[in-house]
Amino acid sequence: MPVSVPALTPLQATLWLTLCGRALDNRLPNPILGDALADEIVRKTDYDYRKLHISPSSAINIAHRARKLDEIAQRFLARHPDAVGLDLGAGLDSRVLRITPPPTADWYDIDFPEVLAARRHLLPKRATPHGIGADLNSPAWLEALPTDRPAVIVADGLIAFFSEEEMISLVNRLIEHFPSGEIAFNGYSKFAIWAQKHAKIAETIRGITKFPGLDDPRDAERWHPKLKLVREILCPREPEVAKFPLGLRLMNRLTAVSASLSRMGNAVFVYRF
Ligand SMILES: C[S@@+](CC[C@H](N)C(=O)[O-])C[C@H]1O[C@@H](n2cnc3c(N)ncnc32)[C@H](O)[C@@H]1O
């Protein structure tokens, strides 16, 4: 019998889109991320991912950006083994198990309390070493985190659901809390936000996206004086594209010629503070 799926609001239920994307990537002959646990959860809950209309290329893009965010967190924690890692809007992602931080680092997954309860119900305990059930828009949750350690903060599939004002306020609170660190998130161009209003895959998130889109990642430097772009990862230019199925590989090779087209497709922005 399938494991029961906890009731979630439409905003919280967006976690299925990314979880199922990673699960479908895992079922490909050459997975980009190979997230077997995501696949296991989708199978054991018998979640009907078909209703999400996730194309193979969307699944690969979701897996690819997760892999890039994993690499950023992993490299930061290797350089700063005393750091803390934060996954904002972690959903049912088990990033900490993919990146295996050094034992001296601490990893925090933050999402709404209902999602944290779902994590505890569906994921092994080790997937959430520190879980914080909170609305990221409320300032109180940060109080539980140390203030004297560097932080690597990742947000995968999150910022689309924040208005720019909410994003600025969140980034300011994070930067004021930690002495230094990196913040990385997958970007949404203005076109991507527009496309979400029309694409079939975005049916479940229609009406709940708030972000206006970011065409130039440097624009986010205005959010806080300490925030500096250190790297823009244009996924079509990354080496994993060589593993993509032929059609998608060719499309990515063409897209890679133009930075703005690549940014519209799949990009991860990395900032330091
Ligand atoms: C598209 S899902 C991505 C989940 C996860 N990062 C992943 O890659 O599978 C977006 C997640 O952000 C969470 N989220 C959105 N707004 C939030 C907020 N204000 N506070 C806490 N979590 C939020 C949702 O509950 C959901 O789990």
Given a cut of 90, is residue 192 above it in pLDDT?
Answer: no
Contact partners, residue 145, CB within 8 Å, separation at least 6: 84, 86, 108, 151, 177, 178
C-alpha 133 chain-centroid distance? 17
Cα 67 from Cα 233, distance rounded (Å): 11
User: Does the C-beta of 12 come closer than 6 Å to ligand 1?
Assistant: yes
What atom of ligand 1 comes closest to residue 18's alpha carbon? 9
Cα 207 from Cα 211, distance rounded (Å): 11
Token pair belonging to 208 = 């709940």
pLDDT in tens, 43-91: 999 999 999 999 999 999 999 999 999 999 999 999 999 999 999 999 9
User: Does the C-beta of 131 come closer than 6 Å to ligand 1?
Assistant: no
pLDDT in tens, 154-190: 999 999 999 999 999 999 999 999 999 999 999 988 8
Handedness of CA 80, 84, 90, 95 (dihedral sign): positive
Choose between 198 and 185: higher pLDDT.
185
Give the model's pLDDT for residue 205: 79
| pLDDT category of residue 198 using cuts at 50, 70 and 90 | confident
Q: Which domains does the chain have, with CATH numbers?
A: 65-199+209-272 (3.40.50.150)
User: Does the C-beta of 19 come closer than 6 Å to ligand 1?
Assistant: yes
What atom of ligand 1 comes closest to residue 205's alpha carbon? 1
pTM above 0.85, yes or no: yes
Residue located nearest, by CA, to atom 13 of ligand 1:
89
User: Does the C-beta of 191 come closer than 6 Å to ligand 1?
Assistant: no
Residue located nearest, by CA, to atom 11 of ligand 1:
89
User: Does the C-beta of 11 come closer than 6 Å to ligand 1?
Assistant: yes
User: Does the C-beta of 49 come closer than 6 Å to ligand 1?
Assistant: no
| pLDDT category of residue 6 using cuts at 50, 70 and 90 | confident
Distance (angstroms) between ligand 1 centre and the Cα of 110 equals: 8
Question: Nearest to residue 19, comparing CAs of 37, 31, 32, 2?
Answer: 37
Given a cut of 90, is residue 106 above it in pLDDT?
Answer: yes
Question: Nearest to residue 226, comparing CAs of 159, 175, 182, 178?
Answer: 175
pLDDT in tens, 203-257: 777 788 899 999 999 999 999 999 999 999 999 999 999 999 999 999 999 999 9
Residue located nearest, by CA, to atom 4 of ligand 1:
91
Distance (angstroms) between ligand 1 centre and the Cα of 93 equals: 10
Question: Nearest to residue 202, comparing CAs of 6, 7, 1, 10?
Answer: 10
Distance (angstroms) between ligand 1 centre and the Cα of 133 equals: 11
Mutation test of ligand 1: which of 58, 70, 97, 158 has the most ligand atoms closer than 8 Å to its C-beta? 158
Question: Nearest to residue 133, comparing CAs of 122, 144, 148, 149?
Answer: 144
| pLDDT category of residue 2 using cuts at 50, 70 and 90 | confident
Average pLDDT over residues 100-118: 98
User: Does the C-beta of 18 come closer than 6 Å to ligand 1?
Assistant: yes
| pLDDT category of residue 194 using cuts at 50, 70 and 90 | confident
Given a cut of 90, is residue 13 above it in pLDDT?
Answer: yes
Residue located nearest, by CA, to atom 25 of ligand 1:
12
Contact present, 32 and 252 (Cβ < 8 Å): no
Residue 266: count of CB within 10 angstroms of its CB: 24
